[in-house]
Structure 1
Amino acid sequence: MTGNNSGEAVRPPRGANIRDVARAAGVSHQTVSRVINGHPSLREETRQRVVEAMEQLAFRPNRAARALVTSRSRILGVLVSNGLEYGPAASLQAIEAAAADAGYSIDIANLEGTDRDSIVAALDRLMDHAVEGLVILAPQSRSLKVIEDLSIRLPFVTVHSTGRFVDHRLSVDQLSGARLATRHLLELGHRSILHLAGPEGWVETAARLQGYREEMAAWQVPALEAPEGDWTAESGYRIGKKLMAGRSFSAVFSSNDQMALGMVHALAEAGLRVPQDVSVVGFDDIPEAAHYLPPLTTVRQDFPELGRRCVAALLGLLVGEPSLSPGDVVPELIIRGSTAPVAARTD
């Protein structure tokens, strides 16, 4: 910003732009963008200095920033973790489809890590693109804890939650899905049911493990837990191989379908038949699950419904009419050929 002999600020001959404001306030243009977009990571002193520079220069935000302020960009941001497994990937696809049906597009920011700097950088990218609302699709507990500690000013919903975002959360009821899977095996007469859990630190891992434990306890049957896997078929196979020598289970509830596939492979190599010797249940109902050998009994998540609810909730928040549907999306048990009554086993 320049001055005249009286020391007053002189506006540039053209309309002021974001870099003019940055120079006048003594900050970077990225900081000005964050002020425009209401980013939570700024000091109040910095925010006020930028606002004063905007007023002095009669700054008019560009089209993207103005669209954010007026909530008319018709873009919804989605904050996602890198390396999406089937569940989060299917959720993202459902959110994109539901947004398109409502006349919105989505802008995706991938998290490079679960630390605060990575999450703030991803939020920056979305806010710089003038997204109207935000869907948080970060299934790791550590990421959610960082996000919960930020003051997010945009309307948002989260597909996972560690507790504080209850009023913003929409998800598939993982716990009841795990209880469905476990109850199915118990009703078939199995009492030695092994649970193959996902990796530690994932919201789904904890919920599905809790559901398994609760259902086993309700039937007064001891829980039997394998070492945790990493969602891959390879980990299910590797863990299954280690468990074959002293096998003490007649059924397996795997925390996802891919690990169930690896477990079925390990059982077959050990000369055991599914379901005659060991019944196996997965979780997710990936498209390939119906074509496993045998076809996999699993828990289906209604991702299209989840996507519709997320977008409907955001649109409600944007017009000041919160419309979060009470309760989680209810999962469904899909019974196929990988489970059978324990009496069907032959030695």
Structure 2
Amino acid sequence: MPQTSSRGWQRPSIYDVARRAGVSHMTVSRVLNGHPNIRESTRSKVLQAIDEMNYTPSSIARALATRRARRIGVLIDGPVQNGPNNTLRALEKAARGVGYAVSAFSIGSDDESQMDSGVMELVTQGVDALCVIAPRASSLDLLRQQTTGLPTIVIKAEADAAWHTVGVDQRAGARLAVKHLIDLGHTSIAHLAGPQDWFDARERVQGWRESLDEAGLAHGPFVVGEWSSDFGFDFGQTFEWGDTTAVFAANDQIALGVVHGLARRGIRVPEDISVVGFDDLSDARHFLPPLTTVRQDFAELGELALQQVIAAIEGNTDPTHDTIQPALIVRESTASRA
């Protein structure tokens, strides 16, 4: 039963379990952590005591037993954007499922002190590993200057010789979007790209170019901007379309702005211009018209990132690279070119 005192209920400790089972607290710790050199009769006594006392090992006790904090430090770049934010949430959920906690530090500017401060704060918390959600090349350049001695995993689509990496295959997603438009008969396809310091934006540009090259089509209009609806809106309002009949937007916010800008000019989507986005925001199916887009499975990304984190903590030091395949979601913002 739980312990009581004059101050009320107290959670039973590992020492209480040890007394109930008639073993040392180190034996209880070994049972909790699956140590193989424990007699089955001893293991049964400890497990019975744990069950009777409704004992839940605290993170402190677990850390003392394993010399690990069971805590992952996460540096998150571009935290207000959809991709980094959803990646962090997915990683937190996956970590909780296996008893790990997450401490996050947001990098909000290009100031080198932001990276220094983030690494320092997380390291001083005694984290077991660092996971870096790093969409920008400049942030990784700063990270390369740090020496922590901790296993480090970077979430990005490209492999990196310095770290374990995991990401959604952004180039493949862009190729899905552009191939869809080509299959509908579009031969001049514009691309509205995100900031080129972002790895994902670069990869989506490459996928757009490769798909056009393979189809023997000229590269359509190419404009670099921000991850914002305002960027798409300005383009939709002012661009002289000529032979261009389709747009691949680097994210759904840009696509939303394009549709709005076109509507202000009386240009119809998809009858006059087809539009494809990227991300599949939760509201993308409610755009007018519902948006054809590329879906990233952030839950799967979080699980895969966590697997790499734990493997690195357990001693896998050789840099690995894993990717998740995105999916094309076809809705009503694209149509065949008559």
TM-score interval (norm. to shorter): 0.7 to 0.9
Equivalent position SS for 1:121: helix
Which residue matches 2:210? Answer: 214
Q: 1:199 Cα deviation (Å)?
A: 1.4
Residue 249, structure 1, aligned to residue 244, structure 2? yes
Change (3 A) 1:121 1:318: same
Residue 240, structure 1, aligned to residue 236, structure 2? yes
Which of residues 252, 255, 258 in structure 2 aligns to 1:260? Answer: 255
Residue 192, structure 1, aligned to residue 195, structure 2? no
Give the percent of matched residue pairs that are identical in Structure 1 and Structure 2: 39
Change (3 A) 1:326 1:199: closer
Unaligned runs of 5+ in 1: 1-62
Q: Is the 8 A contact 2:170 2:200 kept in 1?
A: yes
Which residue matches 1:341? Answer: 336
CA distance in 2, matches of 1:134, 1:212: 33
Which residue matches 1:299? Answer: 294
Which residue matches 2:129? Answer: 133
Under a length normalisation based on structure 2, what TM-score does the superposition of the two structures give? 0.77
Q: Is the 8 A contact 1:313 1:324 kept in 2?
A: no
Which residue matches 2:225? Answer: 229
Change (3 A) 1:325 1:153: closer
CA distance in 1, matches of 2:225, 2:64: 42
Q: 1:269 Cα deviation (Å)?
A: 1.2
CA distance in 1, matches of 2:203, 2:329: 19
* Letter paired with 1:265: H
Q: 1:176 Cα deviation (Å)?
A: 0.6
- Can you list the C-alpha shifts for 1:266-322, whole angstroms capped at 9, x where unaligned? 111111111111110000000010100111000000110110011111111112246
Residue 320, structure 1, aligned to residue 315, structure 2? yes
Q: Is the 8 A contact 1:313 1:323 kept in 2?
A: no
| Worse-matched range after superposition: 261-270 or 104-113 | 104-113
Q: 1:169 Cα deviation (Å)?
A: 0.5
Which of residues 155, 158, 167 in structure 2 aligns to 1:171? Answer: 167
Equivalent position SS for 1:341: coil
| Worse-matched range after superposition: 207-216 or 76-85 | 76-85
CA distance in 2, matches of 1:162, 1:327: 9
Equivalent position SS for 2:324: coil
Q: Is the 8 A contact 2:164 2:319 kept in 1?
A: yes
Change (3 A) 1:68 1:298: farther
- Can you list the C-alpha shifts for 1:118-137, whole angstroms capped at 9, x where unaligned? 21111001011111111101
| Worse-matched range after superposition: 129-138 or 315-324 | 315-324
Q: Is the 8 A contact 1:158 1:169 kept in 2?
A: yes
Q: CA RMSD in A?
A: 2.3
Q: Is the 8 A contact 1:113 1:119 kept in 2?
A: no
Unaligned runs of 5+ in 2: 1-58
Change (3 A) 1:162 1:178: closer
Q: 1:325 Cα deviation (Å)?
A: 7.3
Q: 1:225 Cα deviation (Å)?
A: 2.9
Q: Is the 8 A contact 2:167 2:324 kept in 1?
A: yes
Residue 93, structure 1, aligned to residue 89, structure 2? yes
Q: Is the 8 A contact 2:123 2:148 kept in 1?
A: no
- Can you list the C-alpha shifts for 1:313-347, whole angstroms capped at 9, x where unaligned? 1111112246987641000000011111111xxxx
CA distance in 2, matches of 1:259, 1:73: 41
Residue 282, structure 1, aligned to residue 277, structure 2? yes
Q: Which runs of 4 or more aligned residues in structure 1 lie more than 6 Å from their structure 2 counterparts after TM superposition? A: 322-325
Residue 158, structure 1, aligned to residue 154, structure 2? yes
Q: Write the mapping of 1:37-116 to structure 2, written as runs, cut at 5 A.
A: 67=63, 71-116=67-112
CA distance in 2, matches of 1:258, 1:122: 29
CA distance in 2, matches of 1:146, 1:188: 43
* Letter paired with 1:308: E
Which residue matches 1:29? Answer: none
* Letter paired with 2:179: R
Q: 1:186 Cα deviation (Å)?
A: 0.3
Change (3 A) 1:161 1:226: closer
Under a length normalisation based on structure 1, what TM-score does the superposition of the two structures give? 0.75
Q: Is the 8 A contact 2:90 2:299 kept in 1?
A: yes
* Letter paired with 1:334: I
| Worse-matched range after superposition: 163-172 or 303-312 | 163-172
CA distance in 2, matches of 1:189, 1:133: 49
Q: Is the 8 A contact 2:248 2:276 kept in 1?
A: yes
* Letter paired with 2:285: A
What count of residue pairs does the alignment treat as equivalent?
279
* Letter paired with 1:302: D
Q: Is the 8 A contact 1:79 1:134 kept in 2?
A: yes
CA distance in 2, matches of 1:313, 1:289: 31
Equivalent position SS for 2:283: helix
Change (3 A) 1:154 1:81: same
